[in-house]
């Protein structure tokens, strides 16, 4: 089988291209940019920089798809494929032809559980294939966004839920890594909608118009602190609060890691057993 990843919430990573541009505080210590500097010349980051196509990606995806039945026999589920760990699927600077080719390949990999992750949720509707909007989103592809603080939660999660409702996306998730502050997912104040939104139950309380509307909710939440040099610390209570919020709504929660070794906060209490947190899916 293909080499698998050490990322606990997936089985494989797939990058059709590498290179990106920083778009928020979660990007400050981007591992992929450091890796680009180290291994491929450091010329693929920023607004004008050309992205680098990964030659082996199509063959890798075909192999995962070929071996998916054996994976299913062994694990009792289809292999999860995380796209993209060293880039962003909905990056403006990527040639549209690359993205179309990538989406075509993903559609054919229908024995995989594809996990798209983006920090650019505002680009999704105009960059997905026209057929996904017209006929329907593929049933084996889900969408995750990165959220690192309350401002991003308020701005981006309502857009994600709106996309889920409009395109019938089979599942949507949050990658809250690196978590930089406490976040309340149950009382979002959207920047583009006049409502207060509970992301975990899908209840929208509109300020004008019908007072309450049920809509799709977030299906899973991953939380992690930052690792690597100069890692910004995550207080255990921020993770604990998100666990409690998810517990209340029954939303699957996965605690990835507490993060780097710098600890200006009080030590982690002995009773916070991160291994005991349930796996997301
Ligand atoms: S979106 Fe992801 S890959 Fe792109 S700069 Fe930010 S952290 Fe790095």
Measured distance CA(70)–CA(198) in Å, rounded: 39
161: in domain: no
159: in domain: no
125 and 217 together in one domain: no
195 and 99 together in one domain: no
Q: Give the β-pairing of 52-53 and 17-18.
A: antiparallel
Averaged confidence pLDDT in the chain: 90
Alpha carbon of 176 to ligand 1 centroid (Å): 14
87 and 188 together in one domain: no
248 and 185 together in one domain: yes
- Structure token digits, residue 281: 């899916």
268 and 178 together in one domain: yes
Alpha carbon of 208 to ligand 1 centroid (Å): 37
Measured distance CA(101)–CA(18) in Å, rounded: 15
pLDDT band at 274 (very low <50, low <70, confident <90, very high): very low
Q: Is 60 exceeded by the pLDDT of residue 262? A: no
23 and 130 together in one domain: yes
Provide, rounded to the nearest whole percent, the portion of the chain with pLDDT above 70: 90
166: in domain: no
- The number of domains in the chain is 2
Domain range for 261 is: 173-274
177 and 141 together in one domain: no
The per-residue pLDDT for range 42-60, each reduced to its tens digit, is: 888 888 899 999 999 999 9
204: in domain: yes
27 and 131 together in one domain: yes
Atom 7, ligand 1: residue with shortest CA distance: 27
CB atoms near residue 279 (< 10 Å): 11
Determine the pLDDT at residue 2.
54
116 and 209 together in one domain: no
Alpha carbon of 36 to ligand 1 centroid (Å): 12
Instruction: Work out which ligand 1 atom sits closest to the CA atom of 118.
Output: 1
Contact in structure between 196 and 188 (CB atoms under 8 Å): yes
240: in domain: yes
Mean pLDDT of 219-246: 95
pLDDT band at 6 (very low <50, low <70, confident <90, very high): confident
21 and 139 together in one domain: yes
Q: Which of 129, 146, 163 is the last residue of a domain?
A: 146
Contacts of 273 (CB under 8 A, 6+ apart): none
Contacts of 12 (CB under 8 A, 6+ apart): 2, 4, 5, 60, 64, 79, 80, 81, 82
Alpha carbon of 97 to ligand 1 centroid (Å): 21
222: in domain: yes
157: in domain: no
The per-residue pLDDT for range 175-197, each reduced to its tens digit, is: 999 999 999 999 999 988 889 99
209: in domain: yes
pLDDT band at 145 (very low <50, low <70, confident <90, very high): very high
Nearest Cα to 210, choosing from 191, 198, 199, 195? 195
The binding-site residues of ligand 1, defined as CB within 6 angstroms of any ligand atom, are 20, 22-23, 27, 30, 32-33, 87-88, 119
111 and 238 together in one domain: no
Determine the pLDDT at residue 192.
81
Contacts of 53 (CB under 8 A, 6+ apart): 16, 17, 98
The per-residue pLDDT for range 125-143, each reduced to its tens digit, is: 999 999 998 888 999 999 9
71 and 178 together in one domain: no
């Amino acid at each position: 089988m293909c080499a698998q990843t050490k990322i606990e919430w997936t089985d494989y990573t797939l990058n059709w291209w590498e290179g990106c541009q920083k778009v928020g505080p979660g990007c400050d210590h981007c591992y992929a940019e450091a890796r680009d500097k180290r291994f491929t010349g450091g010329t693929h980051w920023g607004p004008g920089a050309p992205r680098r196509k990964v030659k082996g990606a199509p063959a890798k995806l075909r192999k995962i798809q070929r071996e998916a039945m054996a994976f299913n026999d062994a694990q009792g589920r289809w292999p999860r494929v995380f796209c993209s760990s060293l880039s962003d699927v909905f990056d403006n600077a990527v040639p549209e032809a690359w993205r179309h080719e990538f989406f075509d390949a993903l559609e054919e990999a229908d024995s995989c559980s594809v996990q798209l992750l983006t920090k650019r949720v505002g680009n999704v509707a105009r960059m997905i294939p026209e057929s996904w909007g017209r006929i329907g989103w593929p049933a084996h592809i889900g969408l995750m966004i990165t959220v690192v603080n309350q401002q991003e939660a308020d701005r981006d999660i309502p857009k994600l839920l709106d996309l889920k409702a409009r395109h019938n996306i089979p599942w949507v998730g949050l990658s809250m890594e690196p978590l930089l502050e406490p976040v309340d997912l149950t009382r979002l104040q959207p920047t583009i909608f006049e409502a207060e939104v509970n992301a975990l139950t899908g209840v929208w309380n509109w300020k004008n118009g019908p007072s309450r509307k049920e809509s799709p909710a977030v299906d899973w939440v991953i939380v992690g602190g930052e690792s690597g040099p100069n890692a910004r610390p995550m207080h255990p209570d921020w993770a604990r609060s998100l666990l409690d919020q998810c517990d209340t709504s029954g939303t699957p929660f996965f605690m990835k890691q507490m993060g780097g070794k710098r600890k200006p906060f009080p030590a982690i209490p002995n009773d916070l057993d991160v291994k005991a947190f349930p796996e997301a899916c």
